[in-house]
Structure 1
């Protein structure tokens, strides 16, 4: 399947900066290996209110799109929502940002968003019930599966953080507005925050995602991921029952069967992580009393 990659030449006003890809390749080793940076492409002007004429370089590649690529922004999710409002981001269309000023992690905490890492958001239509209530888990599952196929085993820390070898290598956020959904993802491809920069109560330290072969660019990784993930998404919704899906997610669930610490508000409780409820909540066993939680942090070690 072919798609268009649209490289922003003059940006989207204050929302999304343009980028000098030759300078980027010089500054960021992660982007230096991207073959599309050396290609000429077709220059074209696209009329997009409220930004007027937007100059882009167009490429056709194997993958799912369109894929908008630009420089610095507040978050790629904000850009995605703006493009949806402008009618320029259909379902599975995506935004790849070289750098984010306001990247967010779990509970909307800041997350490192530097050139060389992958910062991407894509559009999706709200799936039918009961999949709409399981969408965060679906997103975590399809990307953990695709990343495992491209490298080494990636597991899910409920609801959708991505872990490899016991360290966080990425995370996913899901936002819904009406019948539209934007899913944002960050992956540590080039850099990860050092242990001293992580919160003292962080669930685990961060690390760089291990993929094969090494040296893939953020855009190259995304084109590979989105193709695999779209196919997996369609397969799940069409041929998999929710109960079977939750069993598949449980196999990738971090700390399943282990004692963990769960924080609700300012209070920490120790419990055994038993599994997933039919609506996607986390089942915890506290001294023989099972309960389902839908929010809060979980840790493996005592905070």
Structure 2
């Protein structure tokens, strides 16, 4: 299967009004988020997408690294959202990834709070949002997405978190072009929804595999365990500790026990 990417190929037939109307394609970069950040600092148009075939020093959540070897997807989107929807970007991104994978394949996806996309309990996608917020105003938000598409077992064997790829789950190579187009279209639709006052919270909550499970939470220097009971509309996770207290987690690492 030919799986070439280019800005022209992605733009061909891509019917979006914000996300993906400008695409920058690179064969190899250190980090698509870094390039997208430079674009945002120059004030380039909202919806600019930076895509690379290979990412050698990508960033994940909580200062982890996210390497993207060839055959997978690494992209970052430049956004200038209102501050009221900043927390909704995580929900929007994880839902868009889920929609695009499920449309192209027969696979079912789940979301692990706050933004890991899973297939059969294994991580297939990581999402990172980096924003510049000053004086209650979002100057920009960079939405970074890494999807394991055609990675084999040898590539994922050294990964700490149980991981998978679309190839490993289906047994066949998938078109990255098809997944990227679907992803950008879904993100465009969902961004319009949240920007115009709509909500994606209910679907995001319903897809969370975390709720009702025993979890271990690492938030800053604090580590605790409990039952993940609820998520609030701002995206925070409410965890019931063994002593009965309810802890609100806005950011951190949650592992299922």
Same fold (TM over 0.5): yes
Q: Which residue of 1 aligns with 2:60?
A: 105
CA shift digits 1:55-88 (9 cap, x unpaired): xx8565111322111111110111112233445x
Q: How does 1:197-236 map to 2 (within 5 A)?
A: 197-199=158-160, 202=161, 205-209=162-166, 215-236=173-194
Cα distance in structure 1, aligned partners of 2:74 and 2:153:
15
Cα distance in structure 1, aligned partners of 2:237 and 2:48:
31
- 1:246 equivalent to 2:216? Answer no
Q: How does 1:255-266 map to 2 (within 5 A)?
A: 255-265=210-220
Cα distance in structure 2, aligned partners of 1:184 and 1:261:
25
Q: 1:213 to 1:196 in 2, by over 3 A?
A: closer
Structure whose alpha-carbon radius of gyration is higher: 1
Aligned length: 242
Q: Which residue of 2 aligns with 1:61?
A: 12
CA shift digits 1:223-264 (9 cap, x unpaired): 2210122112213443634xxx33321111122111111123
- 1:71 equivalent to 2:31? Answer no
RMSD: 2.7
Q: Check the 8 A contact 2:51/2:74 in 1, yes or no.
A: yes
| Structure ranking higher on relative contact order (CA contacts 8 Å, 6+ apart) | 2
Q: 2:89 aligns to what SS in structure 1?
A: helix
Q: 1:111 aligns to what SS in structure 2?
A: strand
The offset of 1:294, in angstroms, is 1.6
**Structure 2 regions of 5+ residues with no counterpart?**
15-19, 133-137
- 1:138 equivalent to 2:92? Answer yes
Cα distance in structure 2, aligned partners of 1:225 and 1:161:
15
Q: 2:87 aligns to what SS in structure 1?
A: helix
- 1:33 equivalent to 2:3? Answer yes
The offset of 1:213, in angstroms, is 11
The offset of 1:298, in angstroms, is 1.3
- 1:190 equivalent to 2:159? Answer no
Q: TM-score, normalised by structure 2?
A: 0.82
Cα distance in structure 2, aligned partners of 1:249 and 1:33:
30
Q: How does 1:267-286 map to 2 (within 5 A)?
A: 268-286=223-241
Which runs of at least 4 in structure 1 moved beyond 6 Å after TM superposition? none
